[in-house]
Structure 1
């Protein structure tokens, strides 16, 4: 049941959408108006310029509401407010103008809600790359309240958006501070006073021993390395196992063991080294180089977890990777060369102090990240409730601004 005074309409009833112009290579130049493409809606600052005659329907001023009808799900598809300077609009993007009686702020959030609905029903190749017709958008049903209620909803959601932006800045600052701490403490450039211990340069195999035990116990927890989650089960990460059926040749890891995936990825130019922390045991492909701290060596596991994560071995690994060995993202790093890499480490007492500082910074960052996720989840629920009338709004007086019921 809709609240009193609300109407069920379509997107076509509440706004008018005009497509941009198909600018071809013959139109591109270095002077004139910047041509606004989909990538520019996400902050991309690479532009071609158009200096020819301009039609008003192409012209985009700062603050203009736009809608990308072809783009990446959750990234570029859907509505945005243009934050750049005056430019001309390329095709695949609509210029959006609200109809009479429609608040532009409320319209933005309503189109955001419509976008979520369209993306939720995307499938096949459209699961990531969404491409729809204008009629697919125009025909979407929306619930339209009176103008004062629209403004109250828009103002409320904007406050949540501002809170999200503030939390995102806090998270970015926390990550930057932890990165700086890691680089300073793990390189020895930052210490704990004049009496900081001397650092040594042992070979890798002086502190670590290789793990070669095979999966003779039939362990079915196949692990993969994720930059964000570390060593994680494939079923937890992919919702399925992508390993072979016969796992006997896989290497069996136990809690605290390390694995090096020689495949480079975003943030890990020479591959990632991660410890097993989430499970008591699991198995990895024999392509991984697996190791653990030697039982007769006193070393702090958290120190080395941060040491590897900070990329302190990147230059050394680059030096032993054979030239031209990048084959489908896999570096050709031999086990023998890997275990003869030089480490640079302090005494155990300093290792523990460094690990304690970095663990604290990591915990603070994780707390802010969780706050951000909670805010996003709560805002999604609030967005749906407010725009469908599930969360009721009442007007104390006919001319007053609405309040939450």
Structure 2
């Protein structure tokens, strides 16, 4: 579980320890306070007192990543995913007051149905295939209830001095806005009801997006996923944005603001760019020919000593940029050299009568432009025998090897 040492996470850790739930207390040290080291030591001591395993991780907070609060949150969640293994679940101690603050913050930022649905009690964390998830078991409890419990149990907790900084929007809402609202209305109960209704509406939008993505032939590609552009273009503007949100959710990336989604769809729909690319957090929305692609960010190609990599043809070969080369069925063991395009190469696929420039062949075989400088060229002696998993030459084996991206 995420353990900051504050009131909320201290109560949750104590409850889990009392219930003999096997848990590890994960403390994220943001390094933003001069007391950060002391807080970490205090958290470690309390975990030890409760007989709970303790792990600490330090992170760097990028203030340019949406401000201090959002930058810290992004750094924290990245650390969660790095520490968690497949199938792990992390518990967080968000409570009803946090939910109300989140709802109002998102309302003031112009969020849509999904954002105004607030923090769900459970959700996936990262890509579905990893099976990592997040649980918030205290969302129905108020901060006052948690404090009453902590005092009754004699629990110590950390008070973060930054909570008094009114330049932080959440702190301003907490101290200046919510108290007068709560004097007139049962704010937490009303927000809980509103978020429940909004999550129901968001679920319906999710079902519609699933249907639309299926109708658009959403499927894995060699690099990322792709959908049929013509079918996608027939959807209304609202349904295109809705489908794109669901698509981004599926691959486990952060959710951009509505304006970013609108801009991204406009750019990839422009007629004057053959292969546009728009960054959406950790993913890139691209267009090529009749498909729209959602791909990971392309990693820089590391320099290769001697301009080539040796391969025995029997084992997995790790290539720059998180790609691998694997032998296909009946691929012969031999001493291969793997190179990349430098320009001017020619090749003759086995079924062709004449050689052509590799540039033209890659276009004909439909390899997207962003992968053409990354496709491995496999040589035996000085003869080109295969180009990625696209084709073999007359001097090559029966089938090309397997060329795969490790996402």
- Provide the TM-score with structure 2 as the length reference: 0.27
Larger gyration radius, structure 1 or structure 2? 1
Q: Which has the larger share of helix?
A: 2
The higher-RCO structure (CA 8 Å, 6+ apart) is: 1
- Provide the TM-score with structure 1 as the length reference: 0.27
